[in-house]
Every structure is written in C-alpha cells, then in structure tokens.
C-alpha cells in the first residue's frame, strides 16, 4: 500500500506541480481544492491514475478524509495580490480556519504537516536579504494585510500545535515562484508582462520600477519543499532564488524574450508594495543541502512556451483588467 498524502490547493499553480512530484515518488495523492483561484485543467491529466483522487472542498469548512494519511501539504490560499484583494475574507479564512482544520486532521491521523507560508510575512522588509530571524514589517490594516497577517497567524498556529501537541510540523516561506500553470491573468508580474506582450499591449510597470523581486523556478521550489518535508526542521525555512532584479529590468528582459514592439508605461505603485525582496537561503543550504538550479533565462523561456500554448480565450480572459481595484488611492 502506497503512503497517502493530502495536498490542499492542488488545482492551483504550485499544488498541481506538487501532486505530480508526489505521484512520481510513489505516493497515493489526495488532492483537495475549491477551485476559487485554481483550474481543474491543471490536474485533469492525473484524474485517470489509480493513486490520485480529487475532493472538491473548501478547507475553511471542516475537513474529513477517510483512511490513513502520512503527510499533509496545506497550499490552499489565493496567492496573487489581485486575487486576495478581490476575496479578502476567504483569504483570511483559508490560512486561519483552514489551517486549524488541517492541523486538527494531522493530529487525528498522526500525520506530518507542511504549511505554505510566504516571504510576505516579512512585509516591506527593513532587513536585506531576508533571513528567517527577521520579524518583518507588516501593515495589518493595509490592503495586503489580509494575506500577510493570515500567513503570520498560520505560522503561529502551526508552531503552537508543534510545541503544545507535539505535532510534526514544517513551515516553508516561499519567495516569488513562477512557471507553467500560472494563470495568465492572475495579475502577478510575470504572467502580466508576458500576457501584455502576447496581446500587443504596453507593459505596465507599477511605480518607477526600482522595487526588486527574486524569482524562483517552480521545479527548484518543489525540490526544496520535498526536502523540507522529509527533514526534521520544524522552524520556518526560506525557499527561493536569491537572484534579485528590479521590476524595470525584469520588464526589459520580458520585452527582449518576446520581441514585443510595445513600450513600458507606468502605473501607480500599489499601497504597501514591498520595495525589496531577496531570500537569504543559508538555512536551506545548510539543513536541506538545497539551492536553486534553474536560472531565470531558462525558467522564463519554459514558462513563455507554456503561455504560448494557451488558447486565445485564455489570453483574452479579462479578470486581469481589474488592476485599478488593486491600486488603492
Ligand atoms: P494558486 O492560486 O494558483 O493556488 C491556490 C489554490 O488554492 C487554488 O487552486 C485555489 O482554488 C485553492 N484554494 C484557495 N482557497 C481554498 C479553500 N478555502 N479551500 C480549498 N482550496 C482553496 O496559487 P499558488 O501560487 O499555487 O500558491 C499556492 C500556495 O503557495 C498558497 O498558499 C500561497 O500563499 C503560497 N505561496 C505561493 C507563492 C508563489 O510565488 N507562487 C509565494 C508565496 C507563497
Ligand atoms: N508589478 C508591476 N506590473 C504589473 C504587475 C506587478 O510592476 O503589471 C509589480 C508589483 O507592483 C510588484 C512586483 O511587480 O512590485 C511583483 O508583483 P506580484 O504581483 O507579482 O507579487 P508580489 O511580489 O508583489 O507579491
């Protein structure tokens, strides 16, 4: 009998890659998602497998899974700023109530649980690069607070289950990750720029573009998560690619890759948009023997090819047009 793993947020970008990885490792994967920001097409190819099953369920409600579980990966949560600004209450609930349900389930099943945290727990950081000892600089009542504070609460609750109940827990702090199966219109910067280039629109750089991000290719992230799950580290661990770039230079890279003749235009910087972000990955290197392997050029090319393969309908879906809502006056 294969070991059974529950993966929440399984129809999303990261969840679908995790499902594939654990199937390849010989696990029986129980995928759970309410499809609020995910897409069933991301896991459709797995449906016919005997060691894969899908539960359409909102984890902010009580979670029941029959049978044994060895591991739980809690990845359900909107992740793009435009998504979590559109559904702020669900965002708060999934990382608070949802996490509580999954910790309870882990306890009942004597399973080890890994929760997906984020570099957003550092907010607009005053320490650079960000190491795990930094407590962060978060505006709890700003527009991003619904995501950042929910994730911080998730970490606190997870640690409490570890210290009080002795539950085996893991916390991964994920930095900006990209790759195939991101939604072209989810508002995150890479799909936004590539989508604009493919539609022949100008690229929208928010602010003057001097803010930085550090982009990690999805396969590297999945490897880091896999190693963290199997490690004995219950403290939070950063997983990301330290190769930092300004958003302006990133826009130029996308223009060169796609060959678009459009120009860069500027839009106002959203409130509380972090000015810098770069992971310090010393801990992951030391404890997990992990570091990213895929450089940005190669990773973006693979992702671009994925976006090129999408239908015109996907390319022109216009939920992304809601940018102005994302930019609070
Ligand atoms: P995504 O939006 O593609 O996937 C999230 C999935 O969770 C979706 O399929 C969505 O339908 C599902 N979901 C949301 N609320 C749910 C609920 N209440 N019940 C069941 N399913 C629910 O986003 P992603 O980029 O794959 O992010 C996955 C996780 O990783 C999130 O927890 C996110 O906070 C974390 N994360 C991602 C990144 C990144 O760069 N991609 C960075 C930091 C953290
Ligand atoms: N951004 C941008 N243009 C866009 C979308 C995003 O300049 O069309 C900027 C955004 O303001 C931020 C960075 O790109 O500084 C990364 O944004 P994203 O939404 O991908 O995620 P974040 O890292 O802010 O959570």
Indicate whether residue 160 lines ligand 1 (CB < 6 A): no
Candidates 41, 79, 176, 178: which one to mutate for ligand 1, based on the most atoms within 8 Å of Cβ? 79
Average pLDDT score over the chain: 96
Strand partners, 98: none
% the chain with pLDDT above 70: 97
Each residue of 19-66: pLDDT tens digit?
A: 999 999 999 999 999 999 999 999 999 999 999 999 999 999 999 999
In this predicted structure, what is the pLDDT of residue 322?
45
How far is the C-alpha of 253 from the C-alpha of 209, rounded, in Å? 13
Q: Which residues are catalytic?
A: 147
How far is the C-alpha of 132 from the C-alpha of 2, rounded, in Å? 34
Each residue of 62-91: pLDDT tens digit?
A: 999 999 999 999 999 999 999 999 999 999
Closest Cα to atom 6, ligand 2: which residue? 189
Candidates 46, 76, 86, 153: which one to mutate for ligand 1, based on the most atoms within 8 Å of Cβ? 76
Each residue of 167-221: pLDDT tens digit?
A: 999 999 999 999 999 999 999 999 999 999 999 999 999 999 999 999 999 999 9
Closest Cα to atom 13, ligand 2: which residue? 189
How far is the C-alpha of 172 from the C-alpha of 303, rounded, in Å? 23
Joined tokens for residue 186: 């989810």
Q: Would you call 224 exposed, middle or buried from its count of C-beta atoms within 10 A (0-12, 13-18, 19+)? A: buried
Which ligand is in closest contact with the Cα of 81? 2
Angle at CA of residue 150, ends 144 and 155, nearest 5°: 130
Distance between Cα 285 and ligand 1 center (Å): 25
Indicate whether residue 192 lines ligand 2 (CB < 6 A): yes
Q: Which are the contacts of 166, defined by CB distance < 8 A and separation ≥ 6?
A: none
Which ligand is in closest contact with the Cα of 85? 2
Each residue of 215-244: pLDDT tens digit?
A: 999 999 999 999 999 999 999 999 999 999
CA distances from 220 to 45, 281, 296 (A): 22, 13, 11
Neighbouring C-alpha atoms within 13 Å toward the C-beta of 145 = 6
In this predicted structure, what is the pLDDT of residue 324?
57
Each residue of 123-173: pLDDT tens digit?
A: 999 999 999 999 999 999 999 999 999 999 999 999 999 999 999 999 999
Band the pLDDT of 326: cuts 50, 70, 90.
Answer: low
Q: What are phi and psi of 25, to 5 degrees?
A: -80, 0
In this predicted structure, what is the pLDDT of residue 329?
43
């Amino acid at each position: 009998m294969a070991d059974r793993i529950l993966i929440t947020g399984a129809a999303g970008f990261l969840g679908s890659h995790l499902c594939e990885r654990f199937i390849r490792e010989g696990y029986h994967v129980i995928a759970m998602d309410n499809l609020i920001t995910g897409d069933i097409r991301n896991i459709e190819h797995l449906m016919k497998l005997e060691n894969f099953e899908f539960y359409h369920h909102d984890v902010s409600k009580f979670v029941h899974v029959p049978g044994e579980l060895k591991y739980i990966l809690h990845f359900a949560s909107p992740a793009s700023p435009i998504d979590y600004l559109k559904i702020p209450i669900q965002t708060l609930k999934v990382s608070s109530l949802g996490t509580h349900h999954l910790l309870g389930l882990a306890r009942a099943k004597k399973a080890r649980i890994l929760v997906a945290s984020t570099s957003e727990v550092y907010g607009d950081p005053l320490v650079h690069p960000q190491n795990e000892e930094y407590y962060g600089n978060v505006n709890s009542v700003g527009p991003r607070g619904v995501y950042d504070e929910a994730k911080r609460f998730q970490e606190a609750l997870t640690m409490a289950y570890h210290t009080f109940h002795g539950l085996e827990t893991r916390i991964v702090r994920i930095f900006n990750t990209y790759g195939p199966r991101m939604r072209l219109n989810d508002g995150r910067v890479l799909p936004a720029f590539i989508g604009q280039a493919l539609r022949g629109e100008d690229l929208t750089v928010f602010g003057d573009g001097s803010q930085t991000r550090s982009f990690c290719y999805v396969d590297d992230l999945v490897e880091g998560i896999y190693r963290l799950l199997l490690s004995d580290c219950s403290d939070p661990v950063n997983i990301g690619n330290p190769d930092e770039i300004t958003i302006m230079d990133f826009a130029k890279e996308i223009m060169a890759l796609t060959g678009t003749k459009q120009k860069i235009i500027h839009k106002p910087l959203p409130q509380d948009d972090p000015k810098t972000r770069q992971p310090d990955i010393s801990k992951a290197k030391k404890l997990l023997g992990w570091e990213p392997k895929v450089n940005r050029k190669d990773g973006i090319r693979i992702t671009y090819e994925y976006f090129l393969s999408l239908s015109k309908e996907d390319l022109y879906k216009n939920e992304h047009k809601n940018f102005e809502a994302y930019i609070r006056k």
